[in-house]
Each structure stands twice: as C-alpha cells, then as structure tokens.
Structure 1
Amino acid sequence: MFFVRTASERDVEALRGLLAESFHSTYDGFYGPEKVQQLIDAWHSLPALKARVEKKGGEFLVADDGRRLGGMAYAAMSKTMTKTAMLHQLYVRPSCQRMGIGRDLFAELETCFPDAEIMRLEVEPRNAAAIAFYEAHGFTEVDRTTSCGGPDSGLPAIIMEKPLG
C-alpha cells in the first residue's frame, strides 16, 4: 500500500530514478531515447529536483510504500496567472500504474492551494493515457503550445485546466 506524503531532500535520488524510468516509458516512443535522456538530464538533475523539493509555495508529493516510491506529483502557484495552480508533474512508476496512485496524488494536490481557482497543466498531445486521466479528473483543453516545459523547448503540448473548489 502506498501512502502520499510530502517529499523531502532524502527522496531526491529515488525521485530521479522514478522520473527517469517513467519518462523513458512514456516518451521514448514520441521523441526517442536520446532526446528523452536530454530532457531527464535538464529537468530532473539532482540539483533541479532538490530545488523543487525545497521551493516555498510549491507542493511536492510522493507515493511511498516504505520500500520505494510509486509516484510523484509537483504543483505550484503560477507566477504569471492569478489564482492558478500549475500542475508541473504527475508521474507513476510504470509497474505501479492502475493502482490508484495517480488518483491519490492528484486528490491531495487539489487541496494544497486554497487560494487557487484553477489548476492548469501541459500534456504531450500523443499521450492518450495521460489525457484520458486528466479528462476523467475534470480537466478540459483550453489551448495548445509549442513550448512545453519552458520557452523555446520546441515540444508540443495541450494546455488543460480544471476549476477548483
């Protein structure tokens, strides 16, 4: 059984492993293993993960069974859009999918931002499983971008939103 808790600095190495496994499983077919490894190295380096875990105003959660991390989620209030929480990451280890971990992580995140009226995210347009998950949790498409994850990334994304409470 996995329990959702706040991530800490001691989780950083396990988080990198979970994200590397999840990213390769999810994105290798879209971008190829070399590009995916570049994204992992850029976005999920140990210093980058440590900074996110320690960031004030963000919520970094893990699903932990005492032996391993089965999933993770990270969201923070937007710096540019008022009353909007940005869901930056929600990943479940491939061997742990379909166990309710994503649902549990998302349910906890929804309660972490009492000032937010909207939760917003970006998702790869070919990631049908993720799109279906977000639609099942009340998200709808509101826009598209060619800069997923940051300016000039060149990665396409569907932008989805969900009204909160």
Structure 2
Amino acid sequence: MTPFFIRTATPRDLQAISDLLRETWHATYDGIYGAARVSELTASWHSVDALEPRLGRLNSEFLVADDGERLDGMAFAAAGEGRAVVLHQLYVRPGCQRAGIGRSLLREIEGCFPQADRLRLEVEEANEPAIRFYRSAGFACVGSTANCCDDTSGIPAAVYEKRLT
C-alpha cells in the first residue's frame, strides 16, 4: 500500500471526497438499504454542495488521508454539546481498509479537540465491521437513535462514545 498522510481538506478535495463517500457507501450499505436508497442518500448528504460548508465550520476538523495520487479516507468531526465532540464521518475507501488509515484519522481527530472529554458517534447497527473498529478503538455503546445523521433520515443507529483524556 502506498504511504499516506493526514491533512486538512481543501475546496479542491471536495469532488474526490464526494466520490470516495459514494464508493464507500455503496460498498457498505447497498446490502442493507439497497443501491437506489444509497444513491439517494449520497446524492443528498455527500454532494460537493453538501460537503462545502464543512470547510469553514467553526470548532470542527475536516481531514483527508492523501497518498499523493488520491484520497483514501476522510473524517469530519465538530464540537457538540458541553465538552463532547461528534465524529460525523470517518470513511476509508473499501480497497484501503485495514491498512491503518481509519486509525490514523481517528487519532488525529482525537488530538484536534484538547478541550473535549469525550468523542461521540452514530453507527448503523448492521455495519458490523465499523462496530468492531470502534469497539477496538475504545468506544462503548451508550444508546441509540431512530434518525442517524439527520432528524428525518429514518435510519436507526447505535450511539457510541469514548472518553478522552
């Protein structure tokens, strides 16, 4: 595997991030929701227009894993309520998973919010590889939500948290 580095996302990255998310979502969720629903969600949530406001959002980090030729992973997190940080997205290109990219992105996110005391995320309960990844990184299930990602998605998810030191 080509070495990669973690850096802040830029406007020039947005199409590549959108493409990465579409590829990753189809690989992960087609079997759960069907390709048509996944296409609908990625068109709404992962378009360049939907991603662009994250670049300038205060108290957030928008990161990519770059191997010099393409982006193989991305993460977006933002300050939540109190001293919590919410990890909204962490995705690694399917062919690059299990190569340390996800762990590197997660470590970088954890270090970007020194005031935070916990990191929170939502994960589809049928996404067993992601659940194994987060559990192995020290996350524990603390609840559930009926609407992952936004208030109207209708996608149930488990809520996980990790205490930060």
Give your verdict on TM over 0.5. Answer: yes
One-letter amino acid of the counterpart of residue 144, structure 1: S
1:77 counterpart residue number: 79
What CA deviation, in whole Å up to 9, does each residue of 1:25-70 have, x standing for no partner? 0010000011101110111111111111221211000000110001
What's the secondary structure of 2:141's corresponding residue? strand
Equivalence for 2:99? 99
- Identity of aligned pairs, percent? 52
Residue 119 of structure 2 aligns with which residue?
119
Count of matched residue pairs: 163
- CA distance in 2: counterparts of 1:56 and 1:67, whole angstroms: 29
TM-score, with structure 2 as normaliser = 0.97
Deviation for aligned residue 1:76: 0.3
CA contact (8 A) 1:9 1:54 kept: no
Q: 1:68 is matched with which residue?
A: 70
1:145 positional shift: 1.0
Q: Which residue of 2 aligns with 1:20?
A: 22
What is the alpha-carbon distance in structure 1 between the residues aligned to residue 41 and residue 160 of structure 2?
22
Q: Deviations over 1:74-115 (max 9, x none)?
A: 00001xx20000000000000111110000000100000111
Contact 1:123/1:157 (<8 A) preserved: yes
Matches of 1:65 and 1:103 in 2, distance apart?
Answer: 15
Moved over 2 A (4+): none
Q: Which residues of structure 2 form unaligned runs of 5+?
A: none
Distance 1:76 1:6 in 2: 14
